[in-house]
Amino acid sequence: MTSITDVLIAARRGEFVGLVSDDLIHLIQKIDETGKKGKLTLTITIEPDKHGGREKKLNFEHSMQIPKKSARPAVFWSDDDGNLVQNDPDQRPLFENLDDRRDRTNA
């Protein structure tokens, strides 16, 4: 009985296994980098001989779902004119009049 590993290694003289192995390493690195799950799918399509003989054509394919790093959201507020601003327009700045207060205490 031929094992699946023997078939995978023999496919394209090891080229398929080499390619998938490299992609597996890349996938693992992205999973470690993002902390998210990924997926590697191997597909073997087997076609019978058109004339009823014992020959089989095996087509090997693989695909990956690589996790992507999420970008941190940027926080903005909208003002009364519909503009996006980086400071809450309903909140007074904490140090708005700091220089004025210093001037009064030093006078």
Residue 81 covered by a domain: yes
Instruction: Provide the whole-model pTM.
Output: 0.62
Say if 70 falls within a structural domain: no
12 neighbors 60 (Cβ within 8 angstroms): yes
pLDDT digits (tens, 9 = 90+) for 66-94: 999 888 888 998 988 998 988 888 888 77
CA-based torsion, 100, 104, 106, 107: positive or negative = positive
As a whole-number percent, the residues of the chain with pLDDT over 90 amount to: 58
CA distance 48 to 55: 7
> What is the residue type of 2?
T
pLDDT digits (tens, 9 = 90+) for 3-39: 999 999 999 899 999 999 999 999 999 999 999 999 9
Q: What is the span of the domain harbouring residue 98?
A: 77-106
16 exposed, middle or buried (CB, 10 Å; 0-12, 13-18, 19+)? buried
In this structure, the answer to whether residues 10 and 59 fall within a common structural domain is yes
- Number of separate domains in the chain: 2
